[in-house]
Chains A and B, each alone.
Chain A
Amino acid sequence: MKAKNQFSLSSKYWLLILSLVCIILMGLSGFAGKSRGVLSWIAGYTVVPMQKGINYVGLWMSDVSDNFATMEDMKKENKELKEKVAEMTVENNRLQQNSAQLERLMELYKMDQNTADYPKVGANVIASENSNWFTRFTIDKGSNDGIKTDMNVLSGAGLVGIVTEVGPTWATVSSIIDDKNVSSMMLTTFDKCIVSGDLKLINEGLVKFEQLENNENEVKIGDQVVTSNISDKYLQGLLIGYVADIGVDSNNLTRSGHIIPATNFHELQEVLVITTTKEELKNRKE
């Protein structure tokens, strides 16, 4: 048999060529930053619509598998929930008192922006970045719906992350637990700290905070942690979570500890996107 075609390269050379392509691409995307132009748009128009469709099937399937939960579990859960309702009622009363107090305090501090005041758009999570190492996901709203990069994303309960990439009908959200640092503060004392995610901690349901000034202001377990007024990407006053534990660092100047996030990052279905960015807010003020 004759050689099929003399022009076919051996696999060694292909490996070399494609490796070089990869390395060049990595270099280019490292320098060029987030924009990847045409390629990303192509993917957005072909892959994302399919993901949207299949996602509904997936939702249905997880519903079905949930239905297999036995009656016994349900009964047990019901009992637990009833106990919880009682607990919550007490808690709610306390919180209502707190909120009245908070309103007064806010007025005092002239915090005229509350999270409720920001205009929001609801969106569905349609796909996750398929890796167990990072928590990134795609939502079904894009620039056509007015989504822009750096917009903050919330779940019903608290801060989820920030929009990093936008297509016409989709956007990618990077969550705060992907070792991103978020400038935040204690709602009770207004002391600033840095919140960052960690793969190990989030499996235990925690994120960590650092560099809280070690002053006479007492921080209690259960105190709310919100985004700070000095963050240049996150809007002020978005709930991140509640203090789980706190300790003084060995340098005796700062304190650090853990936070229980208000959002359950593993079960995100719907999110809210705040359609104002911090940038716009700053410019408006000037």
Chain B
Amino acid sequence: MKKIKRVLVCAAVIAVCYLLETTIFRHLSLASITPNLLIVVTSSYGFMRGKKEGLFIGFACGFLRDLMGDDLLGFYAMIYMVIGYLNGFFRRMFYDEDIKLPLVLISASELLYSVSVYVFLFLLKSDFRFFYYFGHIMMPELLYTILLTLVLYQIILHLNRRLEEEEKRSASRFV
């Protein structure tokens, strides 16, 4: 039962972030750049809950994007999934109260995402203006995403903490 609840909460978080990203932030874009909320979700579940969960959440986030875009199906799913998985390696270093590690990890994830989009969708089409894209798309997106991370991460952390408490409580009841 607890597992189902967790899955539902995760699904809701992903759906809300995706919808916000495609609708409201389209109007609130700074310098025509929108933040990447799904990477925050993927990355934070990765280092909060471990490799496996990061992997699944990443897959779900990426797949949702694939469905609505018209590129190759499975492309974003793969990128997000790998990012979620890599974040899972840092679970042992993660403490609730520490904000530095999450910020660093989320920024790194965002950068990794941007660079892989550039490499696979632009560099392979022999578009070599990496530094232009770096300055005009990757960095603004990174900054905007970090700004929103400060808010969104707290929400995800809070949700996760409550779920974990509940799971602990119900586990001790059955001992």
Contact = CB atoms under 8 A, between A and B. Distances in A.
A binds B: yes
Interface of A: 10-11, 14-15, 18-19, 21-26, 28-30, 34, 36, 39-40, 43, 47, 50-51, 54-55, 57-59, 61-62, 65, 126-134, 136, 138, 164-165, 172, 174, 179, 199-200, 203, 266
A15 B69 contact: no
A233 B73 CA distance: 24
Nearest to A9: B52
A57 B122 CA distance: 34
B27 A36 contact: no
A61 B81 contact: no
Interface of B: 15, 18-29, 32-34, 36, 38, 50-52, 55-56, 59, 64-70, 72-75, 77-78, 81-82, 85, 88, 117-118, 121-122, 125, 129, 132-133, 136-137, 140-141
A47 B15 CA distance: 8
Contacts of A165: 70
A203 B136 contact: yes
Contacts of A43: 64, 67-68
B22 A132 contact: no
Nearest to A59: B27
B7 to A, nearest CB: 15
B81 A58 contact: no
Nearest to B66: A25
A11 B73 contact: no
Contacts, number: 142
A131 B68 CA distance: 11
Nearest to A57: B24
- Tell me the dominant secondary structure on chain B's binding face: helix
Nearest to A198: B127
B136 A136 contact: no
A26 B141 contact: no
28 contacts: A11-B50, A11-B52, A14-B56, A15-B81, A18-B77, A18-B81, A26-B75, A29-B73, A29-B74, A36-B73, A47-B15, A47-B64, A54-B23, A57-B23, A58-B23, A62-B28, A126-B23, A128-B22, A130-B22, A131-B69, A132-B33, A132-B34, A132-B141, A133-B121, A133-B122, A138-B68, A165-B70, A203-B32
A14 B24 contact: no
Contact of A18 (B55, B72, B121, B132): B55
Contacts of B88: 11
Given A23-B78, A29-B72, A40-B67, A14 B136 contact: no
Contacts of A65: 28
B72 A30 contact: yes
Q: Which 5 residue pairs of A and B lie closest in terms of their CB atoms, listed nearest first?
A: A25-B74, A62-B27, A22-B74, A29-B73, A58-B24
Given A14-B52, A29-B72, A54-B20, A199 B28 contact: no
A200 B117 contact: no
Given A11-B52, A130-B34, A199-B137, A26 B22 contact: no
Given A11-B88, A199-B133, A128 B34 contact: yes
